[in-house]
Structure 1
């Protein structure tokens, strides 16, 4: 799971990208302008930023230049636009953007580009002369290193947690989406109780923007503090 910041002045695009990325298991934060993007970048330290080029205050290319000049491009940045020219896309790539998505963005193209951005972000920074094709295997090797098989290092007499097809009260024999919904329901109910149903604290604790948090609770059938108080 990665931390992804979506920066776009169109609320419909922000919400659509947020829903898709959240369903993929990522933590998503939204910003509608450069000021919010700056604050969110400092607060959440994203692994990847989806950055719209045309915004009313500071455009995406200018914000990209700003981050680059301040040494803040320590995350993958993917530019988005429905009106950008080839020259704009090339300039953004030269400044430090990893890729460019043209609107309307297809689901397949979005997921493929995000996956590539996150994979590149996890890979070790190569030395300047490291341009050999074999470097392309670095991502696969890194994934193997980050996710070693659990059973390979477990004691021989230790029974795996999910050996009976259950993870706590969650059945692992059901479709992924249903199992994930059960986990998320338990997860959010736990944090609601822990934070005395303070949506502000739950939002901070879970890393979800409040609007998205309310929508997720409604989707899971969980009563929020707002409903309980009525």
Structure 2
């Protein structure tokens, strides 16, 4: 029996759970946006903001994920697809990025809505992937989206070097076969580059992929808006 969750770290409530902390993080994201928009590198920008507001490592990780330059925001917005654009299309999914984010959200972890409107978490693969209690529910949400939006085929792309990537591919393939879903799984050595080169719409919240892909869809936004998910979301904006 699997008893693992992908929820909060023990320190997360103290780092993200108060209005004071969230207010400081929002100011730090605005500062990062200012620096990024003027050509400062992401690492230097996050270090400057982190030092100024005395942020902890996980807080810096959060503001890095939430920040973007003005050019990045405009570029990503110009390529964003709507739900009605997906009907009859083949879609490519950034497997670990989407699956782990869904698992984290369903586990009650803090989720961060960035300046680009994308949602990100603080979990990671760290060289190996293990299924958790929320994995099946995450796939059920993906299946509901797939059927409701009339997607013809969904291609899940996973990192070949990550341990257990083959097992999650097999698990997803069996899930899809049982439900007669036209899903495909694939292992790639460089999934980011592979997804960025697709002509089809991709689903990811990875910043590099969003900057370099042709078209993308905000699946997490769609699920939050349409599935009444009880997510713990911290929103960032320039207002």
Q: Same fold (TM over 0.5)?
A: no
User: Taking structure 2 as the reference length, what is the TM-score of the superposition?
Assistant: 0.27
Larger Rg: 1
User: Taking structure 1 as the reference length, what is the TM-score of the superposition?
Assistant: 0.28
